[in-house]
Structure 1
Amino acid sequence: MSEVREIASTEQSNLKVLYKMISILMSVVVLLAIFVFSYMRQPQFAELPQQIRFPGRLTATYEYGLFYNQLPTPVLTRVSEKSQVAALMEFLFSKDENANPPAALPSVKTDLHQLNPRENAIVWMGHSSYFLQIDGIKALIDPVFSENASPVPFTNRAFKGSNIYSAEDIPEIDYLLITHDHWDHLDYPTVMGLKDKIGKIITPLGVGSYFRQWGFDEKLIHEGDWNDVFKDKQTQIHILPARHFSGRLLTRNKTLWGSFALITPNHRIYLGGDSGYGPHFREIGKRFGGFDLAILECGQYNPDWRLIHMSPEETAQAAADLSAKTLLPSHNSKFKLAHHAWNDPLNHVSKASEGKSYRLLTPMIGQKVEADNPHQTFERWWVYHSAR
């Protein structure tokens, strides 16, 4: 009988321990859920209205509350025959040789406040962020000055030495141009830091909704469909097609993505944003009679998503299609968002540009590009840096 009592007592003790562990686990889950819910209430996670209303007839395809590309464009092309789960696990956990620079990247921090106002210059700030001073106007495109390419701490961290600019370094600008709403192009802390310096905000349809929720003056926000044009004195900003997608959380394509053509009295500049290769480049080149400069994405490519991001070889072809006189490759050298070596984009686009009709510009982050100097040269800094 005593043995039975001991067994029963032991079982009761084990049950108490089990109940206690379950109670602790449930408490942790509840606290984690509360933390995640509270964190997701921050303004950078602003939700879009259920239904965005757009006036007039649309050029972009918009059906059942979603935008579509001109051509069928699945985000994942499945060329490797992987399942969606397998592709996701590989993306999150596989290791890549030379994925990060061996040391802090070299840079040249141009003082934007001290630029001669009559000078025409472009300053690439890493990834897809750049500052333009052209024919007396100042524009900032897709600025991201945060240490991460997402709002989740410790994810998608900038390479050492690549994040050299802050909102304080930016003078008052005439135009803030946002190509689409992905985290690595529309960064809440950055735009809020710039809030008092922005003359006008130009975005594709729907992207202006974020700025309204973040307290920006409605009069500053100008949204447009593909092929719409914003005219201001002698400046034209055309919103043009791109082959990509949009979305900041689980929903996709509720806002439009695009590229821009900046037309001033003496310059024609194409700002490509994110885009897979497609016939739109040739069509845009013919429409505008070519460009003095094309800034095109060249980085974060992968065969599994080849329709939404170009390979360097396609970037070179897109520049030729646009009849561009010069090409500045962007979307590289700051964040690791794909499985290629950090310097592969510049290595490959340099080779692909040999013999092309355009001139390839490869400045260091922050280095001033003299827009009217066809003889300016740049070091192959990414090659020297890799050899360290």
Structure 2
Amino acid sequence: MPVTKPIYLDHQATTPLDPDVLTAMWPYFIEKAGNPSSQGHLYGWEAAAAVKKARETIASAINASPESIIFTSGATEANNLVIKGIAEAYFAKGRHLVTVQTEHAAVLAPCRYLEQHGFEITYLPVQADGLVDLDQLTPALREDTILVSVMAANNEIGVLQPIEKISALCQSRGILCHTDAAQALGKIPLDVQALGVDFMSLTAHKLYGPKGIGGLYRKPQTPPLKLIPQLHGGGQEQNLRSGTLPTPQIVGFAQAVTLAHQSLDTESVRLAGLREKLWQGLEKMGDVIRNGHRTETLPGCLNVSFWGLDGAQLQTAIQGKIALSSGSACSSAKPEPSHVLVALGRTLAECRATLRFGLGRSTTEAEIEQTLEILIKAIQRIRG
């Protein structure tokens, strides 16, 4: 008998590759497998042309110029490049950075690394709904502050931060502003001109693109914003990210962005409707907490804590039936409670009895109904 796969509700962790993306990538693995840096023959020209077109596509999706896109291996590398690269480039100006307690580990870890090398980091708390309090951000900015990094959409609770207001405040003080938009691209509209950010981290695998490819937007200006490369070698990507460009992944990234933006509005409405259907069904059970802001949130993300439940029992009860995470997939294997939920004021027990539902293109209304049926039975059995 064929094995029945669990319902996939972990789209915040990653998304399956869209078949149309694979189709677009395939020729660049075989027939057009040249190095885009090879300028002496047809194969190199084909690859370079594909990279150029992809760069234009991705830039257009966020209302940026093509030369402002620097390809990286993903948002983690982009975050490291901007945080460490700014720290090195503006070392003489100041050694203070500001970020938020609920940031992804790919921002928090490089910040902690900088603390070991003489930098000071302010980790802003969040309000009960997960939003940054702008009244706390203002006094946190100092004369020696060189960068503020706040993620656009939280990977665990889906909260959308007021990036436009944050960047405006930074600009008024002459401080650089960065946002990790790994979870936002392809799910909500992103316009770097309107947001006003100096740097934005991107990735492909959260929007049905290939793993291992992402990018960093750097606001174009004269002279260029200083940034010290973290990888040294052949000088690719304006000498900011050395290494042979992975043409198939770059082409796939662009195709994934194109497909996501073709249905962005309708898919956002559909996912938000399914998310609310799921929440209403869970809410009827009582003793549940919805984590994060109700409206300033990603359309396909729902994070719920269940009062009075043993988290391990809950995970065991749904194992093999629903595929989802208890927190960030990057850290959910660790025994520590989610730092995001702790920042929201959740207890250790509540953190352990929390599930993150990540809805996506494949999610159907029937699957939501089936998920509710599985969860309600499991929870009633544990509570009973």
TM-score normalised to the size of structure 2? Answer: 0.28
Q: Which has the larger share of helix?
A: 2
TM-score normalised to the size of structure 1? Answer: 0.28
> Which of structures 1 and 2 has the larger relative contact order (alpha carbons within 8 angstroms, sep 6+)?
2
Q: Which has the larger share of strand?
A: 1
